[in-house]
Structure 1
Amino acid sequence: MRRRTPRITSFFLIAILTALVWARAACAQPTPESHVIPVWIYDADSFEFWRTPQGELQGFYPELVRAINQKLDIHLQLQPISGPEIGQRFNDDRYGVYAGVLRTEARARTKILSSQLFNNEVVVASPTMSVNTADELSHARVLFRQNDATLESVQKRYPDLKFRSLRLVASSEEAFRLLGEHQADFYINDASEMENTQRYYLISRPFPELRIPVVLAFSPELKDLREKVNAFIGEWYRSGEIRKALEESKRQYLLSRITLSKEERTWLANNRLQIWLPKNENFAPIIWKDDRGYQGTAINMIHDMRELLGMEVDVHFVDNYAEELAQQRWPVRLVDVAEKTDLDHAAGRIGPDVAWHNVYYNRIKQPFLWDEESIRSQRVGVLAGSFSARYLQERFGSDVVIVTRHSVNGLIDAIENNKIDYILGDLSSLESTLRGNELFRGVLKVAGVTRSEVIIGPWVQPDNPMYHLLTQVNRLSSFRTQLERHETRDFFPALTKNTLKVISVILLITALFSIGMLVMMRRHMKENRLVNRNIVQALEKVNRAHDDETGSHIQRVAKYCGMMARELDLSRKMIAEIEHFASLHDVGKIAVPERILRKQGPLTAQEFNEMKLHTTKGYMIIQGLGLGPVAENIIHFHHEKWDGSGYPEGLRGENIPLEARILALADVYDALRQKRVYKPGFTHELACEVIFEGAGKHFDPQLIALFRQHHLKFCTIFDSLAD
């Protein structure tokens, strides 16, 4: 026994040392099952994350982390750190989860990334200047934040863009300090870095088609956690929780950041804010009038001023708004109409502007306006005192015969009695009236749109004591108006037998009344479908007149889409809408300059960027027509790609609406088959090869699988409707 003791002692010593080494290794490499998992986040206030005065963490990521912990039964813990530190940790693959990572192709290849959480817009900030296009930045001194993917994304999407000087800063605070000291002209970053109502600067959007997906990133040790988190993100997307959390975080963040200076408090205590708005003319989306009254962002902002800040606001609705606006020069204009080059407007802008195009109508048998210059010598009817009247006067002077009426119905009567050749007005005003007018059905059509450089947006005189506060309120209101407010009642009164009898009688009467209403609604729906069909046909004709593409192209695309929708076993309503609205997918080309649309050779980078805006312009044209989300999604998103490299939003995968994914495949197939000036028509076999190669890149892989099964039907449709 004595001789075996050393061997036994050695065995135990080896076992103890092994256990110590294993324990140390376990401590050095924590696992998500047994330890707190740090979630590293850039320590800068934004809707993604901020601290209350009491030090409590608020925002989108604290809410997301709480929800993931509860669902997956793990312990993620938010850890705010500086920009340089989080950048170094991320580059070195240090242990943890990383929040707010901007997805790039390089990162997708080298890092472990989650599904997309949301998209960030890239914007430009300046204390005094604004830009409309990327080219305007070529002579500017610009700032980017280091260890950030924004610069890489801008350089990739705009490879020809060169700056006068480029400087990297450690934080957004440093960037805004340099702007304030006039050491730089612009700071470029994603929108989440700019959404702070305590900073006063102008925001420009010269990169309209650039969107950067925001994701989570995982260190190599947490690779297995990614699939669980992705499944959770998918559930949040489908339930709408992710959008709700984003909107609520943005609203609460902006509300928490609204501050009133001593001067502003004094002014509010002694004054009432005076606001003038148009009474008889729509300026959607800022203000319009329907059967519910006045709607729009200006009205919502007024409600927010009253409800959130307790401000006393007097609203005056005036006739002939455009004329009064030019004469009165009110210090606060929630609806300001100006040229893009108007420096006074740029200096006082407190919110985003939108391009403003008016629409020409004429009789169906009359010609379309291929060029707006052909309106000269014509009789054009407009609302008295409207912006349309002012536009024609400034653009064409005495070369156009301007006929005024005091209502849209008066204009309809005038064109019916051959007293005018065209009606010019904003689309939302005309459509809301024409939709209920028998003359519109089969008689009037959209003939063209104005090509002015006019913008509309909210404006406040820069030296007005309310300028900074109204800037803050405007930004808050833009998020708040996206939310629906519901009133709920959680009581149920005790009912006697007599009360139940009374309720039973009321319910019977209500049921009979409901049946009658359903009959009336069915009749009304049929009428709306007829109106929608007329609108679609009118827009199709305008688009064909403006573009070289034939009617056969849009007919074939509609047939392809309808066939695929049926093979996917979608609902009858969905199939009908996809097939019906597919022909409108390129309606935005109405607003593309003819020099670009009809150019025989290849487009320059700048021309192609302008061409890509047809998706956004088309979406703007049909908004307010009541065509529904299927039509809007087809027009807005049919150039998105499965891998996220499309435009205008850079949507990825199933975030692209199904109807837009279907349209994208159908449109590309037909474009490949068509003979154009700049290319021969592809054979069916060669077109199929190109389509197949796009699986998982350009196109939805499931739709490609469906296309493989039914590609011969595509060929049959093309041959049967050949040009």
Structure 2
Amino acid sequence: MRFILYIFIFTLSKFLSYSLEFSHQEKEWLNSNKSTNIYFLNTDQVYLYKDKDKIEGLYVELFEKYESILKSKFNFIDLNKSELVNDINNANLKLVFNVVQTPEREKHYHFINSLISYDIIALYKKNNLDLNNFENLKIGIISNTSQEKLMKQYYSKLNYEYVDTYKKGFELLEKEEIDFLIAKNIDDISNKYYHFKLEKIPTDYLKIAILKDEVELISVIKKLLKTFNDETVKHEIIKKARYNFYKKQLVEKDFYKNIKNNYSELVVLIPDHDVYPLFYKKAGLFSGYIIDRLEEFSSIISIPIRYTYNPQERYDVRALDSEAGNNERYLSEYYEADTAVFTNKKNEFLNSLDEIKNKRVGAISIRNQLQNTVFLENNKIVKYSNINKALNDLADKKIDYFLGDYKITSLEINLDLLSDKIFLAHLSNVKNKVGFGTNDKNLYDFFNNILPKTSLEKDIINRVFIKPNISFLSYKLAGFVLSISLFFIIILIVLYKKAIDNSNKYKQILDALVDSFEKANELNDTETGEHTKRLNLYSAFIAKKLNCSNKFISEISKFASLHDIGKIGVSDSILKKPGKLTAEEFEKIKEHSKIGFELISRMKIGEIAENIAFYHHEKWNGTGYPKGLKELEIPLEARIVALADVYDALRQKRVYKDGFTHEEAFKIIVKDSGTHFDPEIVAIFEKYNSEFEKIFIQNS
């Protein structure tokens, strides 16, 4: 039964996979534009790079995959920095990848997020720098880049040394004329420098700029990028792009040649138990993150891998190694473990590990930082080789606490359906690096180079994290899903098989999914039932008055109710708190947009439903979340639902407030025209406000 929750979602997502389809206007545009140029700043990354005179990379693979459907050729052309900056500032380029979004450029260009997300990091060479006082050090930064824009916004008072290119920046770093070089985490392809993430700056995306009057092109590019919602497409393209890129990047490296000369096979020591999601057995085969990386190594360098469980046998690489008890010389880190304490007592919260005394504490391994501490002296440590055994002993109260990695242990608790017996008691600041351990520096250098750097690569490569990662479902939906899931899956599969050539049957499946999501949300919050029904009615009414298409009206009238489905992943103590939320609690609330989007996108319900879940808290003036979009950047369906949701929320009585009158809600909505809400939608609300009051009264 441990996989029943995600079998349900995974099975249906396969049936309802994304397909690339174009409207009549988009097809006409593609037919009349047989060749379109995509300009980009010359780069040396897996997403776009130049091999001799040929442009290759992830984006090239994506466009080539759909070339027969597009029936139009997209040509990638690299420009140097001065050419690209001059041309885009003068609006001379139709379509540009990976550029900085500025207010001046927004006058001519529509910007969308690319597939590539990144974090801002500080690279440094000297390992003895005081990272807590980097404000007093010399900071190198590349001018006219997104990192410069973000650093000025979040770290305005640093001592900056401006340079034109990364080449110059790395030269200054090598000469120690600067202490840090500010970069994206996708820019240090050699992994030769130390680095730390600048925590104040949120993860951002490389941007794609398209001239505003190219409406059909904007839509075509969005739909093409959307195909990455299909996990099969993601995996196929990223696997091919990474293989081609790293094969060409590494083949001339000394460590590559040394490995080819010294190894006829690679012997890898693997765990003798499952460690989700890093390593596990599935249908008798090894799976997980570390197996993916090892198979990629074998593919790139053409050396077979032999696995062994026996630590006494000679081996070349320890697949799951850590700082704790690591006797190897080199550790290629792929994961940082957060130490957490789990208990079998509900509502037990510990301020520190020192509060645990004279207890039986289960552990797989003990972090280096905990060696020779009073924590070990004061307690009996019970060593386990298997996390499942440890957690079941904790649930059965054979031990008092379990000390382990927060993410992996939480996932295992939910997969084993133990969330009603095991609870988080403490999250420590003790961290532990996990990776490939080896005595051979050549192997260390190889793995350091192929370990993922961009958030996109991590997301795709970590697909083993994604499939079982529905922990937010298990807390609130376990009883509901487990009671009907087997029957429901069978019914839906039968419906699907009959529906291949029958759109009415497909609609039944879709309606069943939406209905199930709505019921799940009602289980989470009994006050939402009528609210979601009214939201569908308000949204359909607005869409009709905007003269939207019948298809759009039909979809928003069904999917508006899914706007807050992600709240099933937010604690009841926060959702139903009678008082004001703390800043930390509000950040937790904001996560529901992403949770809802991920759930809906995996079910392949459609773009309108996804946009509603993800963007319905964006504001017209750009101060909303999760992306801070403004004005027409916000999808229309999200702008509609935003107003409908606020109106109904104002009217509705909740545990933490009384309901507003229609007149009070009306004044608030009208006042926020042009700040929170789209003025055109507010104008419709203002003109037909009596209809909104009627919907509320008749459906309460």
Instruction: Please say whether Structure 1 and Structure 2 have the same fold, judged by a TM-score greater than 0.5.
Output: yes
CA–CA distance in structure 2, aligned partners of residues 60 and 356 of structure 1: 32
> Following superposition of structure 1 onto structure 2, how do residues 238-387 of structure 1 map, counting pairs within 5 Å?
238-240=226-228, 244=234, 247=238, 249=241, 252-262=244-254, 264-271=256-263, 273-280=266-273, 282=275, 284=277, 286-288=278-280, 293-317=285-309, 334-338=319-323, 350=332, 353-358=335-340, 360-362=342-344, 366-369=346-349, 371=351, 376-377=356-357, 379-383=359-363, 385-387=364-366
Q: Structure 2 counterpart of 1:397, which letter?
A: L
Report the RMSD for the aligned CA atoms in angstroms.
6.4
TM-aligned CA distance change 1:128 to 1:110, over 3 Å:
same
Aligned equivalent of 2:140: 143
2:83 to 79, 82, 85: 85
CA–CA distance in structure 2, aligned partners of residues 402 and 667 of structure 1: 53
Aligned equivalent of 2:157: 162
- Shift of the alpha carbon at 1:143? 2.4
Aligned partners of 1:557 and 1:583 also within 8 Å: no
Q: Structure 2 counterpart of 1:139, which letter?
A: N
TM-aligned CA distance change 1:45 to 1:396, over 3 Å:
same
Aligned partners of 1:557 and 1:663 also within 8 Å: no
TM-aligned CA distance change 1:308 to 1:415, over 3 Å:
closer
- Shift of the alpha carbon at 1:334? 4.8
CA–CA distance in structure 1, aligned partners of residues 130 and 680 of structure 2: 37
Aligned partners of 2:101 and 2:207 also within 8 Å: no
Q: Structure 2 counterpart of 1:51, which letter?
A: K
TM-aligned CA distance change 1:241 to 1:451, over 3 Å:
closer
1:584 to 564, 569, 574: 569
Aligned equivalent of 2:375: 396
1:211 to 201, 204, 210: 204
Aligned equivalent of 2:51: 52
Q: Deviations over 1:124-168 (max 9, x none)?
A: 252536899997642332222223233113322x1x5422x3122
Aligned partners of 2:138 and 2:179 also within 8 Å: yes
Aligned equivalent of 2:430: 453
- Shift of the alpha carbon at 1:172? 1.8
CA–CA distance in structure 2, aligned partners of residues 348 and 598 of structure 1: 52
TM-aligned CA distance change 1:350 to 1:599, over 3 Å:
farther
CA–CA distance in structure 2, aligned partners of residues 561 and 374 of structure 1: 47
CA–CA distance in structure 2, aligned partners of residues 131 and 647 of structure 1: 38
TM-aligned CA distance change 1:445 to 1:111, over 3 Å:
same
- Shift of the alpha carbon at 1:113? 2.9
Q: Deviations over 1:617-656 (max 9, x none)?
A: 9989xx99xx989999999988766777666666788899
- Shift of the alpha carbon at 1:356? 2.2
TM-aligned CA distance change 1:259 to 1:637, over 3 Å:
farther
CA–CA distance in structure 2, aligned partners of residues 629 and 133 of structure 1: 48
Give secondary structure in 1 for the equivalent of 2:145: coil
Aligned partners of 2:536 and 2:557 also within 8 Å: no
Give yes or no for the alignment of 1:43 onto 2:37.
no
> Following superposition of structure 1 onto structure 2, how do residues 650-669 of structure 1 map, counting pairs within 5 Å?
none
Give secondary structure in 2 for the equivalent of 1:99: strand
TM-aligned CA distance change 1:155 to 1:559, over 3 Å:
farther
TM-aligned CA distance change 1:155 to 1:715, over 3 Å:
farther
1:184 to 170, 178, 186: 178
- Shift of the alpha carbon at 1:184? 2.0
TM-aligned CA distance change 1:692 to 1:37, over 3 Å:
same
Aligned equivalent of 1:228: 216
CA–CA distance in structure 2, aligned partners of residues 716 and 378 of structure 1: 61
Aligned equivalent of 1:97: 94
Aligned equivalent of 1:173: 167
TM-aligned CA distance change 1:585 to 1:246, over 3 Å:
farther
Give secondary structure in 2 for the equivalent of 1:179: helix
Aligned partners of 2:289 and 2:462 also within 8 Å: no
CA–CA distance in structure 1, aligned partners of residues 352 and 645 of structure 2: 32
Q: Structure 2 counterpart of 1:45, which letter?
A: D
- Give structure 2 stretches of 5+ with no counterpart: 1-30, 464-484, 494-512, 541-553
Q: Deviations over 1:57-87 (max 9, x none)?
A: 2245667888999989888765433212322
Q: Structure 1 counterpart of 2:376, which letter?
A: G
Q: Structure 1 counterpart of 2:45, which letter?
A: S
Aligned partners of 1:117 and 1:214 also within 8 Å: yes
CA–CA distance in structure 2, aligned partners of residues 417 and 447 of structure 1: 16
CA–CA distance in structure 2, aligned partners of residues 332 and 657 of structure 1: 53
Q: Structure 1 counterpart of 2:43, which letter?
A: A
- Shift of the alpha carbon at 1:252? 3.7
Give secondary structure in 2 for the equivalent of 1:451: strand
Aligned partners of 1:561 and 1:662 also within 8 Å: no
Give secondary structure in 2 for the equivalent of 1:107: helix
Q: Structure 2 counterpart of 1:582, which letter?
A: K
Q: Matched residue pairs, number?
A: 591
- Shift of the alpha carbon at 1:697? 6.8
- Shift of the alpha carbon at 1:214? 0.4
CA–CA distance in structure 2, aligned partners of residues 78 and 389 of structure 1: 49
Give yes or no for the alignment of 1:111 onto 2:108.
yes
CA–CA distance in structure 2, aligned partners of residues 651 and 336 of structure 1: 42
Aligned partners of 2:48 and 2:57 also within 8 Å: yes
Q: Deviations over 1:458-489 (max 9, x none)?
A: 3567982323222222238984993799xxxx
> Following superposition of structure 1 onto structure 2, how do residues 690-709 of structure 1 map, counting pairs within 5 Å?
none
CA–CA distance in structure 2, aligned partners of residues 681 and 129 of structure 1: 60
CA–CA distance in structure 1, aligned partners of residues 127 and 647 of structure 2: 37
- Shift of the alpha carbon at 1:423? 4.6
- Shift of the alpha carbon at 1:169? 1.8
TM-aligned CA distance change 1:422 to 1:635, over 3 Å:
farther
Give the stretch that moved more between structures: 402-411 or 303-312.
402-411
CA–CA distance in structure 2, aligned partners of residues 588 and 307 of structure 1: 49
TM-aligned CA distance change 1:353 to 1:75, over 3 Å:
closer
- Give structure 1 stretches of 5+ with no counterpart: 1-31, 486-516, 541-553, 591-596
- Shift of the alpha carbon at 1:182? 1.8
Aligned partners of 2:250 and 2:256 also within 8 Å: no
Aligned partners of 2:274 and 2:386 also within 8 Å: no
Aligned partners of 1:382 and 1:389 also within 8 Å: no
2:452 to 456, 471, 475: 475
Q: Structure 2 counterpart of 1:186, which letter?
A: F
CA–CA distance in structure 1, aligned partners of residues 642 and 273 of structure 2: 39
Q: Structure 1 counterpart of 2:348, which letter?
A: F
Aligned partners of 2:169 and 2:181 also within 8 Å: yes
Give secondary structure in 1 for the equivalent of 2:344: strand
CA–CA distance in structure 1, aligned partners of residues 310 and 647 of structure 2: 50
Aligned partners of 2:260 and 2:301 also within 8 Å: no
Aligned partners of 1:276 and 1:333 also within 8 Å: yes
Aligned partners of 2:320 and 2:437 also within 8 Å: no
TM-aligned CA distance change 1:155 to 1:373, over 3 Å:
same
- Shift of the alpha carbon at 1:106? 1.4
Aligned partners of 1:263 and 1:465 also within 8 Å: yes
Aligned partners of 1:126 and 1:186 also within 8 Å: yes
CA–CA distance in structure 1, aligned partners of residues 343 and 695 of structure 2: 36
